[in-house]
Amino acid sequence: MPRDTTPMSVPSAGTVDNPADDRSSHHPFGPSRWPALMECPCWQGKPGGDAAERGTELHAIFEAVLKGNKHEPRDTFEENVIRAAESILAMAGTPQRWWIEERVQVYTPGGAKTEIYGRVDVAWQETGGDLHVVDLKMVENPDRAYRPQLLPYAFGLIGEGPVPATIHLHMAYADSGWVTHEALPIAQAWREYVEVYGRIDAIMHSPEPLSPVQSGWCNLCASFAECQAPRVVAQNVAGTLADAPEHWPEFSPARKAQLCVLADAVIKWGEAIKEHASADAKAGIAIQDESNGIYYTTQERKGRLVIPDVQQAWEILKPYLSADKYRGCLSVNQTELKSALKLAGLNPAEVNATIERCGNRLPPTLVFVRRSA
């Protein structure tokens, strides 16, 4: 595999996109800030701190393993990062093009190079085909959508080479070692990119001051201490708790919509509190109510059990379990299964058809998404 041989990135001072993901200097509107800006046009990165330093260390380990170097892990996070890097190497195989910690210039939808740049953690293009882009985050937060960061990297890299049929977006998480995967046909990826770029461009060039919008990014925002938007939402929430969910059928459609917005805000608020509390607990800072003795601490989450040989495991388990019970405990990681089938030489249509023949998909989950009319 062709390998990047540039030295590891060196962190620099200054504001960072996410204290837990600090790496190196960025353009003030670099793609790593786009996910937050898509939610609040006034979001600003916080200056780096301990979490930023840890993020930089973990990125350096990730990068070292991707470059084929060994690293002896000192804790679970380092083990996870190494595992994530190894799965990426296995997934990438022998690509045509391969980038690690690459500085990527952002292109306008019209095809012009902008002054905006960012740094992609790792990316590769399969021989004559699909492009894969990966970003490493410290903690998985289901409330944060990273397509607006990965798409500008993808189209920046395509700017230099053949156009793929499909773009694969991957997120690697240091708190679990998982690497997620989603595949977008090029036309859909392009439509989304044009929309995202338009929003960011409008923010960058807005002649008027923009209004802040409370979001899941507030706790990582440099303006959080003085910004009124999260407080206004909190006041609205406090004033609306009398609207018990049991009265739902009596609410007007407009009230239902307002309550959905507030419910979203409460969930995000709760996630932000948990994120701060877990950072305190990891740092040994007490979170305790002395009046009743209740305290909070962290507990290591059990990792997934990987059974390399399900047949052999069945021989061990069958004195205790029925075959049905055992089957119910097994799950298939679609990302890894798809990668394995691709490595076996199947094209994307054959991969999907083969997977469909193997089993039933669970019915899709209904999720609510906020849209503007």
Minimum separation from the CB atom of position 36 to ligand SF4 (A): 7
Minimum separation from the CB atom of position 210 to ligand SF4 (A): 9
Stretch that binds ligand SF4, among 55-63, 220-228, 235-243, 319-327 (CB under 6 A): 220-228
212 near ligand SF4, rule: CB under 6 A: yes
Q: Which is nearer to ligand SF4, 16 or 221 (CB)?
A: 221
Give the tokens for residue 338: 């798809």
Using an 8 Å Cβ cutoff, are 45 and 31 in contact?
Answer: no
Q: Which of 268, 257, 218, 234 is nearest to 371 (CA)?
A: 257
Q: Which of 275, 177, 296, 179 is nearest to 224 (CA)?
A: 275
Q: Which is nearer to ligand SF4, 279 or 355 (CB)?
A: 279
Element (H, E) at 256: helix 253-282
List 52, 81, 123, 221, residue binding ligand SF4 (CB under 6 A):
221
With the CA atoms of 209, 276, 233 and 239 taken in that order, what torsion angle do they form, in degrees rounded to the nearest 10? -160
Q: Which is nearer to ligand SF4, 196 or 221 (CB)?
A: 221
DSSP per-residue letters across 31-54: GGGHHHHHH-TT--BPBP-HHHHH
Site string for ligand SF4, 229-248 (x = CB under 6 A): xx------------------
Q: Which of 7, 124, 118 is nearest to 60 (CA)?
A: 7
How many residues sit close enough to ligand SF4 to count as binding (CB under 6 A)? 15
Site string for ligand SF4, 35-64 (x = CB under 6 A): -----x-xx---------------------
265 near ligand SF4, rule: CB under 6 A: no
Where are the strands (E) in the chain, listed by range?
97-107, 113-125, 131-137, 166-173, 179-185, 288-289, 294-295
List 15, 108, 114, 223, residue binding ligand SF4 (CB under 6 A):
223
**Which residues contact ligand SF4 (rule: CB under 6 A)?**
40, 42-43, 212-215, 217-218, 221, 223-224, 227, 229-230
